Amino acid sequence: MLEPGIKGLSKTAVTEDKTAKAYGSGELRVFATPAMIALMEQTCYQSVASYLEQGQGTVGTMLSVEHTAATPVGMTVTCESELIAVDGRKLTFRVTCSDEKGEIGRGTHERFIIFNDRFTEKTYAKLN
């Protein structure tokens, strides 16, 4: 059962393909904000995946973050999430990222529980 307090943890090495330069979000060889956001979403999603019913998934619907410190290539970024609210199918998470020297980002992320088949069918109906 999904209840506040569920925690998640993910880590990623900062490699050239995760830099602002590689993402096109800047010119520097530092951990890209889009890469941090992807790590945050991944951590939240994975933390609750085992609590979902067969055929269900979650999709991100809101993310409000601050990226407060740069991380160079060669370091590791750790992301921690905590489910802080469950409102029907809406899940709200607190999320933070840090490297070996301290916090680099934080925010709030909302995800909605969906039925994968129905969601995919509705989405691809746009092509008709």
| Number of other CB atoms surrounding residue 126 within 10 Å | 6
| 41 is annotated as an active-site residue | yes
- How far apart are the C-alpha atoms of 60 and 41, rounded to whole Å? 7
- How far apart are the C-alpha atoms of 61 and 38, rounded to whole Å? 13
Residue of 19, 67, 71, 109 marked catalytic: 67
Residue of 12, 19, 41, 80 marked catalytic: 41
Residue of 33, 92, 96, 108 marked catalytic: 33
Rg of the chain on CA atoms, in Å: 16
Residue 67 pairs in a beta bridge with 105
What is the set of active-site residues?
A: 33, 41, 67
